[in-house]
Amino acid sequence: MKMDNQFSVYKQICKLSYLLFFLLLLSCSSEKNEQEDEGYTPVFVSLESPQLFRDKIIAPVIPENNPLTKEGIALGKKLFFDKILSKNNTVSCATCHNPKKAFTDNLQFSKGINDNLGTRNSMPLFNLAWNFDERFAWDGKEFGLEEQAFEPVTNHLEMNSNWKEVANKLQNHTEYPTLFKQAFGDTPIDSNLVVKAIAQFERTLISGNSKFDKFLRGEIELSPEEENGFAVFIDEARGDCFHCHGSEKNPLWTDNKFHNNGLDTNFSDIGLGAVTGDPNDNGKFRTPSLRNLEFTAPYMHDGRFSTLEEVIDHYSEGLQFSTTIDPLMKKIDKGGTQLTNKDKKDLKAFLLSLSDYDFINNSSFNP
């Protein structure tokens, strides 16, 4: 009798399990169909690397947990240009990162909400997926592009918002819930998804078609001034710019490392030193790319130089000694390598050959 009861219970459990399993199958199947029917499966896309990038340097960094999708990039672009991320809806990422200016502004210090001035010059944005160390911002304080995108939203001088408010605004928006669903599925909108989308869009900002790129591809010739300017650039005795900014085999025109380039004897902003806590890093800032300088004035982390002439003069005769100055800065006692006026002029001509008009006029980067 007891055995019979046990067997009966066992049979009931089996039936129930089968039923549950069947229901589970149905529910999975229905969810999948719904996603497919309503077009919620994001389309994976790969980054279109310029030929010189493919030929000369290693592959871009795309995090495994944030692959590029058509929907993610479109959402990131919309967010990038939308003032909804700021507390009072007056500032977007594009306020300080204007596509026409190679995604920077032309101010010494950028303006946040209520016209609050920041403390650093806004960095241009391009070729970010090729920052192999993934240290972003002038002082490298942000590791990873997604991580970087967190910061401005809550920075009180920039967007002064908080992520809960932002998520609420996006959730109650007429378009965003659908766009997030298309890009990321049914995950609730939160800061992680916002920064993932923005990072996806930022990775598509690729500049690789300047006059110098065309020269390297054998399509055009340089002017004699540009040629001599490049010779100054790669001459250890004159410009010696290539040790940090690279040369014809590195289309990034930066090493994305941190250097003290002799701006000051005493620092009002210690840069990397504040991030690492190491006094040996005081006064060090990330090397910016030399692409698109024509559109990105003023220069340096604090925007102290208005023109390229001032920048070149600094390296030529304006170097200031400090204990952390990079050893690549030569003849510091004389202020630098004392370039001739012709070399200075030609160096500027070469630098301007790195201007990529196709990049700043790329309509797919417009709002």
Partner 1 sequence: MKKIIFYFLVSSFFILGCSSDNDVKLQNTKITINFNHSWEDEKVTKDDFNDVKFTNKNGEKVSIEKYRYLLSNIRLVDANNIETKLSDYLLINVGEEKNLSFSTEQLILEGTYSLQFNFGFSGEDNEKDYNDLNSVNFNVPSDSPLNGGYHYMQFDGKYTSSSTTTPAPFNYHAVKAEDIKNPAQPTPREPRDTSFGVTFSDILVNEGGEVIINVNSNIAEWFENPHTWDLNKLNTVLMPDYDAQILMNENGQSVFSLQTDM
User: How far is Cα 107 from Cα 117, in angstroms, rounded to an integer?
Assistant: 10
Of these, 2, 219, 333, 364, which contacts partner 1 (CB under 8 A)?
A: 333
Q: Least separation, in Å, of the C-beta of 265 and partner 1?
A: 11
Of these, 204, 324, 353, 355, which contacts partner 1 (CB under 8 A)?
A: 324
Q: Least separation, in Å, of the C-beta of 230 and partner 1?
A: 7
Of these, 35, 61, 83, 132, which contacts partner 1 (CB under 8 A)?
A: 132
Report if residue 242 touches partner 1, rule: CB under 8 A: yes
Report if residue 58 touches partner 1, rule: CB under 8 A: yes
Q: Least separation, in Å, of the C-beta of 104 and partner 1?
A: 23
CB closer to partner 1, 3 vs 237: 237
Q: Least separation, in Å, of the C-beta of 316 and partner 1?
A: 15
The closest of 180, 244, 198, 170 to 103, measured between CA atoms, is: 198
**Three-state secondary structure along 125-158?**
CCCHHHCCCCEECCCCCEECHHHHHHHHHHCCCC
What tokens does 241 get?
Answer: 């710019």
Report if residue 280 touches partner 1, rule: CB under 8 A: yes
Q: Least separation, in Å, of the C-beta of 331 and partner 1?
A: 8
Only one of the segments 98-106, 229-237, 305-313, 341-349 lies at the binding site for partner 1 (rule: CB under 8 A); that segment is 229-237
Query: x/- contact string, 1-40, with partner 1 (CB under 8 A)?
Result: ----------------------------------------
Write the burial class of residue 129 (CB in 10 Å: 0-12 exposed, 13-18 middle, 19+ buried): buried
The closest of 164, 171, 169 to 189, measured between CA atoms, is: 171
User: How far is Cα 182 from Cα 36, in angstroms, rounded to an integer?
Assistant: 10
User: How far is Cα 68 from Cα 75, in angstroms, rounded to an integer?
Assistant: 11
Of these, 57, 61, 84, 157, which contacts partner 1 (CB under 8 A)?
A: 57
Of these, 90, 106, 250, 362, which contacts partner 1 (CB under 8 A)?
A: 250
Report if residue 246 touches partner 1, rule: CB under 8 A: yes
Asked if 177 contacts 189 with a C-beta cutoff of 8 angstroms, the reply is yes
User: How far is Cα 67 from Cα 148, in angstroms, rounded to an integer?
Assistant: 17
Report if residue 218 touches partner 1, rule: CB under 8 A: no
Q: How far is CA 214 from CA 178, 210, 251, in A?
A: 42, 6, 12
Query: x/- contact string, 143-172, with partner 1 (CB under 8 A)?
Result: ------------------------------
CB closer to partner 1, 41 vs 280: 280
Query: x/- contact string, 287-316, with partner 1 (CB under 8 A)?
Result: ------------------------------
Only one of the segments 92-100, 151-159, 202-210, 328-336 lies at the binding site for partner 1 (rule: CB under 8 A); that segment is 328-336
Report if residue 248 touches partner 1, rule: CB under 8 A: yes
CB closer to partner 1, 275 vs 332: 332
CB closer to partner 1, 135 vs 196: 135
Q: Could you tell me how many residues of this chain bind partner 1 (CB under 8 A)? A: 37
Report if residue 264 touches partner 1, rule: CB under 8 A: no
Residue that is written with structure tokens 């790319």 in the block: 289
Residues that bind partner 1 (CB under 8 A): 55-58, 130, 132, 230-231, 234-237, 240, 242-250, 252, 255, 280, 321, 323-333
